[in-house]
Amino acid sequence: MFDLTYQEKKAIIFLISLILLSLGSSFALKVNSPVKKFFEESRDINKKDINKASMQDLTMINGIGCKLAEKIIEYRSKYGPFKDLEDLKNVKGIGDFKFNKIKDFLKIR
């Protein structure tokens, strides 16, 4: 059909093997590149710093409405920055149930 010699066929097979091996290894390396570190850090990215978060940031969290966000900011300005997430329970309107709902979205730095 193409009148390829045996040597040419071997060269083509070698070329394709090289292409496939390099693509496979490159893809595998990309997919498995520092996964743990990345995901640990990325989870943290979405968390809001309770001492820096604005009204808008707080209301983006599921479970915090405008009124509760106002109360958190008011508490922060009155008593200073939160030292521990547990201190949130001192804010009026945050009980154990509410705290457990929102704590995963907040952090203290």
Partner 1 sequence: MKNILAGFTLAFILGIFSASRINLCFWPVYILAFILLITGCVCIKKEKLFCILLFPLFLLSGILSWKNLFTLQNNHVLRFISAKAEEIYVQGSVASYPRTKNNARNFMLAVHKIQLEDYWQEASGEILVSLKDSKKEVFYGDLLILKGKIRAPFRPYNISRYRGYGNEYRKSHALLNVSEYVEKIKNSQFNLFIYYIFKFRKRLENIINKNLSPISASVLNAVILGLRGGIPERIREVFLNTGTVHIIAISGLHLGIAAFIILILLKLAGIHRRLRYIITIAILFIYSILTGMNVPVVRAMIMASILLFAGVIRRQANIYNSLSVAALTILFINPTQMFDLGFQLSFLSVVAIVGLSPKINTLFSRYFKKSVFAGLFLKLFSVSLSVWLVLSPLIIFYFRVLSLIAIIANVIICPFMAWLISASFIFLIAGLIYLPLADFFACMLEISISFLLKFLYLLYSLPGSYFHLPRLN
Residues found near partner 1 in the complex (CB under 8 A): 1-4, 6, 9-10, 12-13, 16-17, 19-20, 23-24, 26-27, 30-31, 33-35, 37-39, 41-42, 45, 49, 109
DSSP for 60-104, written as a single string: TSTT--HHHHHHHHHHHHHH-S-SSGGGGGGSTT--HHHHHHHGG
Structure tokens at 11: 């060269």
**In the block, residue with structure tokens 């201190």:** 87
d(CA 5, CA 14): 14
Nearest approach, Cβ of residue 97 and partner 1 (Å): 29
Between 38 and 79, name the residue whose CB sits nearer to partner 1: 38
Nearest approach, Cβ of residue 48 and partner 1 (Å): 10
Between 37 and 78, name the residue whose CB sits nearer to partner 1: 37
